[in-house]
Structure 1
Amino acid sequence: MGKNTATRATESAASDAPQPTRRELRSRRQAAAVDAAFQLAGEEGAAGLTMRRLAQTLDLDVAALYRLFRDKDELLLTLCERTIELALDEIGEVTAAESWQDTVRRIAEATWQIQTRYPGITALTFARTTGGPAERRMVELLLAAFTRSGLDPERAALFYRTFVDTALGLCAHAAALSALNPEARAKDDTTWTRVYARLPESDYPETRAHADALSAVHQKAVYDTAVEAILVAAARAATG
């Protein structure tokens, strides 16, 4: 029995649809590999993200993966770009009415949220500079914010670097802590009360007095305090 008219029309439309170019196919495969790399790093940590392991996850020959990325470094830079894209999505539009300090604060918050969401990727890429389109947009946003503070170009560049290196460094610190096994993490978390709070008060009076407060400090509070300190310093430098 022959195909009905609707089926023939559907098949005809499918055959007439433009076929993806080689570049489009490669782009799609790269995107799939990046998605798989994020999942792999989330499940197995930074150490588990190898080209061989990623190829197995994708059910590809390693040689096929190297046709998508020249080497692991190109893969890592692509992953870094993806995290910046995600942060930019979190930030959204920066309006002219927003103060430069609030712009920097929102960038800082988005950076923390994304980088700590993917600690395995952060651990591998936090010190890298991609030069890619997402990073270019982020550089422009931050430099524009610090320039709006009244800083001259040299100081705006210095505070831009100070902000980025501090923010990503603290995110990487959080990522490293999250990679510890539960026993080691618990041991670190209790050191203030287990060791420092029991030091001889005659020798360590201030440490004893602050041990409980030190144990209560959270990583995000340290991050937020560092960001605020940079904003205060930038504002002072702009008027000095």
Structure 2
Amino acid sequence: MCAAQVSASLESRLDNLARPKVNFLKYKDRPSVYWQDKPKMSSICGLTARQEELAKHKSVSNMYIEDRASPIWPVSSRALQAVPSLRVEKLAEPKSVSQHWMEDRSVYTTVTEGAKIASASARIIELARPKNCANNEIPNTPKSYLNEDEDKESLRSNKSVTASARTEALADFFQHLRRNTPSTNMIFLFYGMFLQLHFIFKHQTESVSLQNQKFANISSRDMTPTAFLLQLRMLRPLHV
């Protein structure tokens, strides 16, 4: 390519770049997608139905008489001769002024000398103290909770108490029932109650010593619910 051709191509390129941007809105046959013709923004004045209703003037009453002689309405003779009752007279009285009202009273409250030299009690001083919750602090412990440590010590001392034989037997019996199914527990419980009732009516005349001697023959290895009920019977015989 010769130098003349190169210079001609550069001039044509510069001429193409120097052309202004074409506004496609001027051409109706080629509308722009982005530049759309919008109507000019203009405010439209108009009133709503509520505003029109409020703008109306107040209508005249139907009872209005334009050529009325006087604004004072006439009062009948019967109303003029009426006698008010005690209740009406009481309601017509003006509000009475308080008996403690004083015309020349000072705005400030007068404090007596006795109130100035009075000493507050310990309870009043305690109630006058502000709470310590402003800085997220725990309030002071009330007096009713000061003996909480002593209560804890008494609870610890109760742990050293030993259970009686009756309590241990009852605990063993209920632990044995918990290991079984609920249906089995109910059967054993009713069966044990039946044995107790049968034993009471059968051995009414026997002495406690004979009962203990009979229960001594029961083996301690027998862990059935019936044996447990008999052991409880031995520890605390039932008397009718």
Structure 2 length as normaliser, TM-score?
0.22
Higher relative contact order (CA 8 A, sep 6+): 1
Structure richer in helix, relative to its length: 1
